[in-house]
Amino acid sequence: MSERMSSEPQPPRAKPRRRLSRNARVAALCGVVFMAMVGAAFAAIPFYRAFCQATGYGGTIRKAETAPTKVLDSSLLIRFDTNVRGLPWDFTAEQTDQTVKIGETKVAVFKVTNHADHPVTARAVFNVSPDQAGVYFRKLSCFCFSDQTVAAGATVEMPVLYFVDPKYADDFETKNGKVVTLSYTFYPATDVKPPAGAKTTD
């Protein structure tokens, strides 16, 4: 019985190799698709940011080139919220809030103190709440438009020139709102290297 079984020919074992080869092709295809998706996601970030800045979507503030010529009698209370993440900085607003007429240009001053023993470069991410107000909250100049480098132990002032578009009073979603919060959060600009010979802010 055992001799008969041992004399029988063994079946070919090519199928597992084919299956392994097929699995390898599927895995490679999945890897290519994954990398393509990651690349598309990174490519979409600049377009998404530009879209938000152009439309005010999600409370993103829109950059303005000129101030409005029309100033309304109605006023808003603008509150300032300051935060840092992973930085040896103190970041505060000179005033915690300002009362501003709609269409009026105002300056808000913020201060940063770097407690590190070396220069630190960071970037501010900004937002407005409620979200609908972001469409009408405009900045003529702001430290958030570029990376900021603060020298070791230095304290710097960072002004923001802003206004609320008069169209704020015409929008049914915002016209009854009387309080707007402008929020900034500084994050380390780990990918930014100041050019050789560049002067740090002090």
| pLDDT tops 60 at residue 44 | no
What would the DSSP string read from start to end of 118-150?
S-EEEEEEEEEESGGGGGTEEEEE-GGGS-EEE
| pLDDT tops 70 at residue 38 | no
Residue pLDDT, tens place only, 84-95: 999 999 999 999
Joined together, the tokens standing for residue 28 give 């490679």
Residue pLDDT, tens place only, 104-119: 999 999 999 999 999 9
Q: What is d(CA 121, CA 59) in angstroms, rounded to the nearest whole number?
A: 25
Residue pLDDT, tens place only, 129-176: 999 999 999 999 999 888 999 999 999 999 999 999 999 999 999 989
CB atoms within 10 A of CB 77: 13
Q: What is d(CA 161, CA 141) in angstroms, rounded to the nearest whole number?
A: 5
Task: Tell me the C-alpha to C-alpha distance, in Å, between residue 159 and each of 73, 93, 110, 137.
Answer: 25, 10, 6, 16
Please indicate whether residue 13 or residue 58 has the higher confidence score (pLDDT): 13
Per the listing, tokens 């049914």 go with: 172
| pLDDT tops 50 at residue 128 | yes
37 Cα distance to chain centroid = 21
- Mean predicted confidence (pLDDT) in 183-201: 64
Q: Are strands 89-93 and 75-84 parallel, antiparallel or unpaired?
A: unpaired
Compute the mean pLDDT over every residue in the chain, rounded to the nearest whole number.
Answer: 78
Model pLDDT, residue 154: 98
| pLDDT tops 70 at residue 41 | no
CB atoms within 10 A of CB 39: 10
Q: Specify the 3-state DSSP secondary structure of 154.
A: coil
Q: Which CATH superfamily is domain 62-188 in?
A: Ctag/Cox11 (2.60.370.10)
Please indicate whether residue 59 or residue 146 has the higher confidence score (pLDDT): 146
| pLDDT tops 80 at residue 80 | yes
Evaluate if pTM is beyond 0.85: no
| pLDDT tops 60 at residue 31 | yes
Q: Specify the 3-state DSSP secondary structure of 55.
A: helix
Joined together, the tokens standing for residue 26 give 């599927």
Domain-by-domain residue ranges, the chain? Answer: 9-55, 62-188
Q: What is d(CA 154, CA 113) in angstroms, rounded to the nearest whole number?
A: 6
Model pLDDT, residue 194: 44
